[in-house]
């Protein structure tokens, strides 16, 4: 029940009511990625994604990003986009989280040549 209310009243949780109805009547499921995001297409070759959790564009892996933006025609398969041993797994944008990149975390701390007048 809570998920249904989130669909009606928010756009950042999975999908809106308009997207739900469009998917229900016109959408054809073409695939699901490792994050359980679902990808749809309609008869006019419009493509969209229904996110598993919060709507965040960086959660789409590169192969599905290429498909969504019509850079490739065929639906991505795991065999076609197999990763090499040196490739990292896809991660969403970590900005604003504790896992965000901070260059000062890796820099050695040095003492300044001056004293700040602010405490």
Residue 43 lies in a domain: yes
Question: Tell me: the pLDDT tens digits for 84-110?
Answer: 889 888 888 888 888 888 887 776 767
For residue 71, what is the DSSP state? S
Query: Is residue 48 situated within a structural domain?
Result: yes
Q: Cα–Cα distance between 10 and 5 in angstroms, integer?
A: 8
93 located within any domain = no
Tokens of 102: 């901070």
Q: Give bridge partners of residue 40 from the DSSP assignment.
A: 29, 48
Residue 107 lies in a domain: no
The pTM for the full model equals: 0.72
- pLDDT tens for each residue of 36-84: 999 999 999 999 999 888 888 899 999 999 999 999 999 988 777 777 8
Count of structural domains, the chain: 1
68 belongs to a structural domain: yes
Distance CA 6, CA 10 (A): 5
State the pLDDT at residue 84.
85
Q: Is 109 within a domain? A: no
Residue 89 belongs to some domain of the structure: no
Neighbours of 4 (CB within 10 A): 10
- Report if residue 99 sits inside a domain: no
pLDDT of residue 10: 66
The residue segments making up the domain with residue 51 are 2-80
Task: For residue 14, give the nearest of 24, 3, 25 by alpha carbon.
Answer: 3
Residue with tokens 């004293």: 115
Six-digit token pair at 11?
């756009």
Q: Give the total residue count for the chain.
A: 119
């Amino acid at each position: 029940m809570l998920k249904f209310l989130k669909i009606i009243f928010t756009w950042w949780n999975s999908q809106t009511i308009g997207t739900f109805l469009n998917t229900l009547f016109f959408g054809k499921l073409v695939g699901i990625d490792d994050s359980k995001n679902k990808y749809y297409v309609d008869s006019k070759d419009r493509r969209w994604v229904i996110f598993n959790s919060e709507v965040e564009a960086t959660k789409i892996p590169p192969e599905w990003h290429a498909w969504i933006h019509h850079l490739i025609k065929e639906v991505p398969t795991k065999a076609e986009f197999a990763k090499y041993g040196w490739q990292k797994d896809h991660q969403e944008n970590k900005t604003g989280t504790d896992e965000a990149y901070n260059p000062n975390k890796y820099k050695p701390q040095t003492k300044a040549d001056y004293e700040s007048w602010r405490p």
